[in-house]
Amino acid sequence: MARYFDVHPQDPQPRSIGQVAALLRQDALIAYPTDSCYAFGCAMDSPMGADRIRAVRRLDDKHHFTLVCADFGQLGQFVQLDNAAFRAIKASTPGAYTFILPATKEVPRRLAHAKKRTVGVRIPAHPVAQALVRELGEPLLSSTLLLPDRAEPMTQGWEIKEELDHVVDAVVDAGDCGTEPTTVVDWSAGFPEVVRVGAGDPSRFE
């Protein structure tokens, strides 16, 4: 049965955030809010987290997981950035964008794209996601909370708790945060290509 944390969307309670981070360090899989929609999350070094997300969402090994980072300094440890990518991504974060970039050696092989050695990274603007990543001290390995038989992600924490009670270990509820996932920009070839239009304005990368 998943633990349920009802947190304030703008000023999340430090005690609750600390408890969720402690669960993440113990290999928990959580559902948590972002600035685009709810997401699955686990610690980056979780032995089973990525496989659990793949199983729930029925994903193959071509799926790009996202490393949700606290700030640009943290993001830069895990992806390779040229000057153009550095400037454009810094100017548009935090925000509802995911960027696909070549992974550094800091990214475990099993988390990068099997053939391309790329990984998704993002810096969310949501206070709860920010608080969680800062408390954890490392990126959250994440994927949109979109179930295989659904057209859109679930928007309410209590709904997620009800439906995924035996699938996740904790649900962090900060109210409705929408159904639109991030805009995905693939920068792995050295130039931006918008591969999914979502909550972030794509025009700056087109």
pLDDT in tens, the chain (206 residues): 999 999 999 999 999 999 999 999 999 999 999 999 999 999 999 989 999 999 999 998 778 889 999 999 999 999 999 999 999 999 999 999 999 999 999 998 888 877 889 999 999 999 999 999 999 999 999 999 999 988 888 889 999 999 999 999 999 999 998 889 999 999 999 999 999 999 999 999 98
pLDDT at 114: 76
pLDDT at 64: 82
Handedness of CA 44, 185, 148, 58 (dihedral sign): negative
The string of DSSP codes covering the chain is: --EEEE--SSS--HHHHHHHHHHHHTT--EEE--SSS-EEEEETT-TTHHHHHHHHHT--TT---EEE-SSHHHHTTTB---HHHHHHHHHT-SSSEEEEEEB-TTS-GGGS-TTT-EEEEE----HHHHHHHHHHTSPEEEEE---TT-SS----HHHHHHHSTTT-SEEEE-S---S---EEEE-TTSS-EEEE--SS-GGGG-
CATH code where residue 68 lies:
3.90.870.10
Total of domains in the chain: 1
The tokens 């998704």 sit on which residue?
Answer: 120
Is the model's pTM score more than 0.85? Answer: yes
pLDDT at 116: 85
User: 178 to each of 34, 36, 115, 197, how far by Cα in Å?
Assistant: 9, 6, 33, 15
Handedness of CA 196, 38, 40, 161 (dihedral sign): negative
Judge whether 100 and 184 are in contact, CB under 8 Å.
yes
pLDDT at 14: 98
In which domain, by residue range, is 95 found? Answer: 3-205
